Amino acid sequence: MKILAIAAHPDDIEYGCGGTLVKYSRGGHKVYLLIMSEGEMGGQPEIRKNEQAKAAVIYNVEDVFWGGYQDTCLPIDKEIITKIENIIHKIEPDFIFVHYFDDTHQDHRHLSQATVSATRYAKNVLFYEGPTTQNFAPSVYVDISKYFKEKILSLRAHRSQVARTHIEGHNIVDIASSNTIFRGIQSRVKYAEAFQPLRLFINI
């Protein structure tokens, strides 16, 4: 299978579905990333792109595509929808992962809404959560107990961002670890990532 993960910034994917992508890639499936900005509001673009490349190696990504938008300025318009559509047509993914639409960060919110339009003909589209997600009620869980270490390593690859949580005493690894444990408790496994489907087909 082919899997496409879409994000507004470097490190969003690692938090939201990094463990799931490792599980897919270790199972022989092909993983692709589409990142719409270089995250320049959180650091130097060259550093952030290099960090994303290091994280991508951990789950053996086939290719990383960049959207070329300015951080914090992702629009909802025909252009961004078409860019997403073009990558979908190029890859023909079986599964697509993207931000949940109820999010306090405008880039996450706008990208999610644009992706809903761009994936209107796609079968399997699932929303992942992030630290700024609100009102997330997942109904799909992926057991990443065997891949928790790799998820954390992929987050640590974004060295410039680990401490940028605006929460005293907790870095992004602390927050992601806690959330993964919580989702694991909900789904009765050790560690899990959770998703809310836009559409999900079950093959019987």
Which pLDDT score, from 0 to 100, does residue 179 have? 97
Which pLDDT score, from 0 to 100, does residue 161 have? 80
In the sheet that 30-37 helps form, which strands lie side by side, from edge to edge? 63-69, 30-37, 2-7, 95-99, 124-128, 192-199, 140-143
H or E stretch covering 51: helix 45-58
Which pLDDT score, from 0 to 100, does residue 160 have? 87
What CATH homologous superfamily does 2-197 map to?
LmbE-like (3.40.50.10320)
**pTM for this entry:** 0.96
Which pLDDT score, from 0 to 100, does residue 188 have? 98
Are residues 94 and 124 in contact, defined by beta-carbon separation less than 8 angstroms?
A: yes
How far is Cα 157 from Cα 54, in angstroms, rounded to an integer?
6
Which pLDDT score, from 0 to 100, does residue 21 have? 98
Tens-binned pLDDT, residue by residue, of the chain (204 aa): 999 999 999 999 999 999 999 999 999 999 999 999 998 888 898 999 999 999 999 989 999 999 999 999 999 999 999 999 999 999 999 999 999 999 999 999 999 999 999 999 999 999 999 999 999 999 999 999 999 999 999 999 998 887 777 888 888 899 999 999 999 999 999 999 999 999 999 887
Q: Where are the domains of the chain?
A: 2-197
Q: What is the DSSP letter of 189?
A: S
Q: How far is CA 26 from the centre of its chain?
A: 18
Are residues 195 and 138 in contact, defined by beta-carbon separation less than 8 angstroms?
A: yes
Which pLDDT score, from 0 to 100, does residue 191 have? 98
Which pLDDT score, from 0 to 100, does residue 102 have? 98
Query: Model confidence over 19-40: pLDDT tens digits?
Result: 999 999 999 999 999 999 998 8
Q: Are strands 192-199 and 140-143 parallel, antiparallel or unpaired?
A: antiparallel
Which pLDDT score, from 0 to 100, does residue 170 have? 86
Are residues 186 and 177 in contact, defined by beta-carbon separation less than 8 angstroms?
A: no
Which pLDDT score, from 0 to 100, does residue 143 have? 98
Q: Environment class of residue 59 by beta-carbon count within 10 Å: exposed (0-12), middle (13-18) or buried (19+)?
A: buried
Which pLDDT score, from 0 to 100, does residue 5 have? 98
